[in-house]
Structure 1
Amino acid sequence: MKALAKSIFIVVFPALALIAMIDSLWHQFSTEFTIQHVAHLITAGSIVFFFSIIFIKPIPRTDSVLIAYTFCVFLGCLLSFLVGNLQEEVQFRYTCAVFNMFLTIGWVVYLVWYSFFQHRNADQNAILTVGNTLPLLSFENASKQIITTERFAGTPTILIFYRGNWCPFCMAQIKEMVEHHEELTERNINTVFISSQPHGFSENLTKKHPLDFQFLVDVDGKVAKQLDIFAENGLPFGFQIFGFASHTTLPTIIITDSNEQIVYTNQTENYRMRPEPTELLRVIDANV
């Protein structure tokens, strides 16, 4: 139920911010200029811009820019409630101020609730413990041919489980890895990207990045369940119309040595944060 609530929240919240932004712009141009609508625009516009920019120009880590967005959101909310003293001759719209407050609360909820996988505890995942041998895993490639991890035996491997083409942070992560393709090739590393999304989407990534990286499909999330990284209702509500499945995979990175022994895992608890490729390269240089 909580996963479904998150799936709905991440669609409804930006949509409400967009409605609020349009409302504030409409009032600015259709009636007189008011500080309250400027305040409303600051809050709503900051939220809309954030969610727009992560799709237009995806980045794998957002903490460095969140301070600025959070400042603007709270600034707009504060101005909205102070406007009665700042511009007394203009009628104060309580609905506008209350909507602004709800958007600010929604922003806080996004940062402290939605962004985190609350029930994920890497220390309790006995399967993905450093030192363990990776169990035999079975995937399919874009042509629906069976590919198992036996294929990668004898060579160090990076397995990157990502949520899907719809996830801007996953796409940014893949782009970063592509940019370090030569360094990975020099180290003779298998780089494998895995998602439970339909085959066609993985095929699109294969065509977009025609390197020796592999984009495989975890059919029905069987491997994700096997490794305890399955995310029920992880897809934003409504994205099913684009052909994606409702259930996804928790972002996870596994590095194994040539003996298929796990030497590193990253089981991020924050969907906005992914390890930098340079960190993975340091692990590889130190362990394989």
Structure 2
Amino acid sequence: MHRRQFIGGAIAGAAAAGSALASTEAAQGAETKSPLTFVLVHGAWHGGWCYRDVANALRAAGHTVFTPTHTGLGERSHLSSESITLETHIRDVCGCIEAEELSNVILCGHSYGGMVITGVADRMSSRIRTLVYLDAFVPEHGQSLNKCLELALSPENAKALVDGFRGSAVKGNSGLMAALPAEAFKVIEDKRAWVDRRCGPQSLATFETPVLLTGAGSAIKERVFILADGWDPSPFRYYAAKVTGLLGWRVTKMSCGHDIMVDLPLELARELGRLA
């Protein structure tokens, strides 16, 4: 090869590489300019704290993240009362979206949080882009969490669980139920003490209150179900199977215990980031 040809080829190669780098930087810049907005809703006995590592990872990727805590739990445990119902928690999350003036929200609910986000979606569908059920209940109109358990499990297993909830009443207050241990949900061993330490009693009425829906939530066309595939007996296999193949739904699995956000926070953040 002549020297002139060699130099020309090198220049052309450098130009092509520079063009590719510019394209990559432009794509990254576009992602930064269009961050997603997440509202991550926790399940029974937990608080917004359980999403700590997931939220940090999403924020590091440029997204906006809110992790509201339900009345009576977490840092709001001083408001604990047997009079708290599912309606209270639905209003908590609606209040977060309203007060922060959020729109185009990706609303994610874990476990009992599926009851909550279903109610929120029915009231604020115009503000919600995507619903994510994170190993969660997917209730229909008039169903309570206890009813959802009966549908998902055998009558005997459901009754045993519900009786267990009632039997876990906090001493001196039969309307509050103590948290089930993290071990029951196969939380990763080195995080169980942290979860047990942070979880607190929850009003039994939150499990007994039916969710009342108008059907307005059907306007939300993108829905995701993430199944925790590493623990049993899980009532959420029933709901994953129920929505598989339905228009607008995508179902995926993660190999871990029920508390996906605790067991696999970075993996969950990546999965949620895919919604971009």
TM-score (norm: length of structure 2) = 0.27
TM-score (norm: length of structure 1) = 0.27
